[in-house]
Structure 1
Amino acid sequence: MSINSKHLATFILGAAAGVAAHKYLQSEEGEKLLEDLKTKANNLKAEAEGAIDKAPEYFDELKTKGADTLKSSFPDAESFFKDLYEKFVGGKSSPETATPQNTPTPDPIS
């Protein structure tokens, strides 16, 4: 692999940018910038840790409110989902043990 002038120019520009960044960060303004970045990073970290601590509580509340809203808006939703679940679970059993959903069970004769 040969080194052409584009690669050499890219390397030199990258090295120059690195030297310039190092010089800037050693100045008073650069140190202030680094301190600001560290402060913002620590604030973001604390906010993320707080969100992690609150997540289970938030999802429990979301689950409760979602279930209540679903029940109030669609009262038949619970039975619909139970029937749907039974169709999927019941469909996996053997045909002899599965009973049809719409066939009424006859009363026993005494």
Structure 2
Amino acid sequence: MSVNAKHLATFILGAAAGVAAHKYLQSEEGEKLLEDLKTKANNLKSEAEGTIDKVPEYFEELKAKGADTLKSNFPDAEAFFKDLYEKFVGGKGTAAEGTEVTPNPDPIS
């Protein structure tokens, strides 16, 4: 791969931008900017860690509210889903004699 003038100019401009950024960050304003960024990053990190601890509780609450809402707005939904489940799972064949049949789980609890 040959190095042409466009590549060389891009490298020089990038190096110049790096030097300018370094000079700015060494100034008083740059140090203040870095401290502000560090503070904001630490605040976001602690907020994210707190949120991670709350996620399981949130999904349990969401599951319970969703099931309650479904049962209250569509009272026949549970029976419908049980029948539908039986059609797909129960109708695939019969169990051989002597084998244990596991009960079907309740789809909405």
TM-score (norm 2): 0.83
Aligned length: 97
In the alignment, structure 1 segments of 5+ residues that lack a partner are 98-110
Partner of 1:105: none
Partner of 2:107: none
Map 1:4-83 → 2, pairs under 5 A = 4-83=4-83
> Shift of the alpha carbon at 1:53?
0.5
Higher relative contact order (CA 8 A, sep 6+): 2
Q: Which runs of 4+ in 1 moved over 2 A?
A: 91-97
For residue 3 of structure 1, give the secondary structure of its aligned residue in structure 2.
coil
For residue 75 of structure 1, give the secondary structure of its aligned residue in structure 2.
coil
Cα deviation code 1:3-62 (max 9, x no counterpart): 111100000000000001111111111110000000000010011011101111111110
* Identity across the alignment (%): 86
What is the RMSD computed on CA atoms of the aligned residues?
1.7
> Shift of the alpha carbon at 1:68?
0.4
- The structure with the largest alpha-carbon Rg is 1
- In the alignment, the residues of structure 2 paired with residue 52 and residue 26 of structure 1 have an alpha-carbon distance, to the nearest angstrom, of 36
TM-score (norm 1): 0.82
